[in-house]
Structure 1
Amino acid sequence: MNPLTLKIIFTIGIVLWLIIRIPYQREQQRNTIVDDRKTAQEKVIRFLVLVGILFLPLIYVLSPWLNFANYRLPIWANGLGVVTFAIALWLFWRTHHDLGKNWSPTLQIREGHTLMTNGVYHSIRHPMYTSVVLLCIAQALLLPNWIAGLAGLICFSIAYATRIDKEEQMLLDQFGDEYEAYRQRTKRLVPYLF
């Protein structure tokens, strides 16, 4: 596919990604926080993810500044990127939908927080992370640029590595044996694998 088409597809996907989150962001602001484990490190990590998934790709899409780092991919890889992005968006929406009032963008427990084990949470503990990994893979396949294309994967990998254990510990502290039993019967990101 031509680079302009790929940039347009990626931009539409990112806009949809942001739109999916809006109603849940509003709902989340109305809930009372009972356990807040947000740290300065987490704020920096969240900013790093925004740089990798939004800012650097937008610089690539809207300017020629990063063109020196372009690479070529076969058309089938671009098609795979479109399909991967569609799956990522569906999973991102479904995860928000299943979580409802329990969703939080940071390490927080809200009043009335319940352990979600249904829907996409039936076999994956962290489907939101899975959706972002898929989005980052799609980014690399739709934006054939060593900087803009790979920035999402690199930045999100750092975020995942620094946050996942803290999130699991927070849920274990909140839900105890119920969460431990849930952990034993599910996988973190991909059912039956990881």
Structure 2
Amino acid sequence: MNTLVSKSFFIIGVMVWLIIRIPYQREQKENIIINDQKTIQEKIVRLLVLMGIMFIPLVYVLFPRLNFTNHSLPIWAIGLGTAILALSLWLFWRSHHDLGKNWSSTLQIREGHTLTTNGVYQNIRHPMYTSVLLLCIAQALLLPNWIAGLSGLISFSIAYATRVNQEEQMLLNRFGSEYEAYRQRTKRLVPYLF
């Protein structure tokens, strides 16, 4: 399998990722927001993630500018990357599906917001972050370039480190002991590990 195939898998995966989100973004527009904690920091971090997962890989795929940091990957890495990408897309869709109207792309609480603890949220508090982490791992395995391959992991790590505690505090403020009990019985990203 050559790099054109692995690049194509990744680009198709990102396109599917964007398509998955469309109906939920439309539904989100109908929400009445009662607590909005969007900050300039969050906007910058979201832009950083978009650059790391979409813009830099797209530049790498379409133009030779980043080829000076290319490296080779074994065939098993491409197969593993494709499998992880598929798992990421399923988890991304499932996370949106299970959240339903409670989903927001930013730090917001909507009117009638409920705590989701079913489906993939039964064992993982942040399965959408897990899906993005898996996407970034797939990116590193499918794009044999030190910059384009790792840009997703780097940008996601920064976003996760700056956002997850704020999100959990917001949910704790909203749901109190119900959210605390949920935190005690679940893991943030990977069930039974982290």
TM over 0.5: yes
Aligned to 1:72: 72
Please say if 1:89 is aligned against 2:89: yes
Instruction: Read off the aligned partner of 2:48 and give its amino acid letter.
Output: L
Cα distance in 1 for residues equivalent to 2:113 and 2:62: 41
Higher mean C-alpha displacement, 80-89 vs 6-15 = 6-15
Aligned to 1:11: 11
Aligned to 1:150: 150
Cα distance in 2 for residues equivalent to 1:125 and 1:3: 35
RMSD: 0.4
Per-residue CA shift, 1:120-149, capped at 9, x if unaligned? Answer: 000000000000000000000000100000
Aligned to 2:23: 23
Write the mapping of 1:1-194 to structure 2, written as runs, cut at 5 A.
1-194=1-194
Q: Secondary structure at the match of 1:109?
A: strand
Shift of 1:7: 1.1
Instruction: Read off the aligned partner of 1:181 and give its amino acid letter.
Output: A
Cα distance in 2 for residues equivalent to 1:139 and 1:61: 12
Cα distance in 1 for residues equivalent to 2:29 and 2:149: 32
Cα distance in 2 for residues equivalent to 1:111 and 1:19: 26
Shift of 1:107: 0.3
Instruction: Read off the aligned partner of 2:30 and give its amino acid letter.
Output: R
Q: How high is the TM-score relative to the length of structure 2? A: 0.99
List alignment gaps of at least 5 residues for structure 1. Answer: none
Identical residues among aligned pairs (%): 75
Structure 1 segments, 4+ long, off by >3 Å, are none
Q: Secondary structure at the match of 2:34?
A: strand
List alignment gaps of at least 5 residues for structure 2. Answer: none
Cα distance in 2 for residues equivalent to 1:113 and 1:64: 47
Cα distance in 2 for residues equivalent to 1:111 and 1:62: 43
Q: Secondary structure at the match of 1:115?
A: coil
Cα distance in 2 for residues equivalent to 1:30 and 1:61: 36
Instruction: Read off the aligned partner of 2:26 and give its amino acid letter.
Output: R
Q: Secondary structure at the match of 2:146?
A: coil
Aligned length in residues: 194
